[in-house]
Structure 1
Amino acid sequence: MKKIETVEQFEEILSNNKTAFIVKHSLTCPISAAAFDEYKQYADSNSEVDTYYLAVQDARPLSNYIAETFNIRHESPQALLFSDRSVVWNASHGGITVNSLKEASIKA
């Protein structure tokens, strides 16, 4: 799991990966912390899909870019699964669990 902070890093990920998970999370929200823990557990046990994250406080321009480019309302926490430069699955808040991430990656 790698931290990203710039639009350039994000675009490189999309160019170099068929599929990738990105989670947007808040550094100050307990709900976001719980979802991020689920994401970390998934990332630690998964090797098929590359995993990345951004902290919205550190990467607001990137967070906004993703929301605007893919026409997906910004939420935090928010998990996004990209495949072939498109968002094929997303979830927020309590919808971000190890199991939901596993199920989404199998379908991608």
Structure 2
Amino acid sequence: MRKIDSIEEFNQLAASDDLFFLVKHSLTCPISHAAFEEYNKFTGSTDVPCYYLAVQDSRPLSNHIAEKFMIRHESPQAILFSSSTPVWHASHWKITHQSLEEALTQNR
């Protein structure tokens, strides 16, 4: 799992990886902390690249993703991208190891 901080990093990632997960994570929210723990467990069991951004550190990037892909910003929020396009997303308590696995299975 790798942290990304800038729009430029995200654009390079979107251009180079076919299938990847991205999580928007709040550093101060307990719900986000729980979702991030689920995401972290998931990243250890998948071969799909997994990234995250900390909303407090990367507000411009978080807003860019929301605007570009017309996905209302939420935190925490997990997004699965395929060919630079979001194919699945979930937020808050819906981010679980199982939901991430299911999203991947349905979109491979």
Which interval holds the TM-score relative to the shorter structure?
over 0.9
Aligned to 2:45: 45
Structure-2 separation of matches of 1:104 and 1:12: 23
Structure 1 stretches (4+) deviating beyond 4 angstroms?
Answer: none
Q: Percent identity?
A: 57
- 1:57 alignment partner in structure 2: 56
Which secondary structure state, in structure 2, belongs to the residue aligned with residue 14 of structure 1?
A: helix
Report what 1:3 is aligned to: 3
**Structure 1 unmatched runs, 5+:** none
CA distance in 2, matches of 1:25, 1:17: 21
Q: Does 1:101 align with 2:100?
A: yes
Query: In the alignment, what sits opposite 2:66?
Result: 67
In the alignment, which residue of structure 1 is the partner of 2:85?
86
TM-score normalised by structure 2 residue count: 0.97
Query: Structure 1 residue 85: deviation in Å?
Result: 1.1
Residues matched between the structures, number:
107
Tell me the TM-score normalized by structure 1: 0.97
